[in-house]
Structure 1
Amino acid sequence: FLIVLGLLILALGLLWPLLGRIGLGRLPGDIVIERGRMTFYFPLMSCLIASLLLSLVFWLLNR
């Protein structure tokens, strides 16, 4: 289990630049508040999609 988890984290780390290009992190539903020099960013929709994808992967692995 830990080896599979490590491989998933490695794959995510290698694909991180590609994920930025396809718009993950700038989806409708992601909250960005800019006030002066402060920026608050809360990736709500990105987190929901990532959670759904990870749930699907783990469900398929347990099947």
Structure 2
Amino acid sequence: MQRLLLILGGLLIAAAATWPWLSKLPLGRLPGDIHIVRDGFSFYFPITTCVLVSVVVSVVIWIFRR
């Protein structure tokens, strides 16, 4: 458990350090993401981004478990 927390903390620190470059990636603005704007209302659901992130995380976990 301690090892997992240390790894997760290190990943969070690395993500925070590289945020200026990561924010320029088109994640969250992919075709298929739902964005509805009405008077006084805005709804955004990044379904394509969620699917893409899920696939990438699944592949990474699959590789590390082998």
**Same fold (TM > 0.5):** yes
Identity within the alignment, % = 44
- Superposed counterparts of 1:1-63, under 5 Å: 1-63=4-66
Gaps of 5+ in 2: none
Distance 2:52 2:63 in 1: 17
Structural RMSD (CA):
1.9
Bigger Rg, structure 1 or 2: 2
TM-score normalised per structure 2: 0.72
Distance 2:37 2:54 in 1: 26
Letter in 2 for 1:55: S
Runs of 4+ in 1 over 2 A off after TM superposition: 1-20
Cα distance, 1:20 vs. partner?
Answer: 2.8
Q: 1:22 to 1:29 in 2, by over 3 A?
A: same
Q: 1:58 to 1:49 in 2, by over 3 A?
A: same
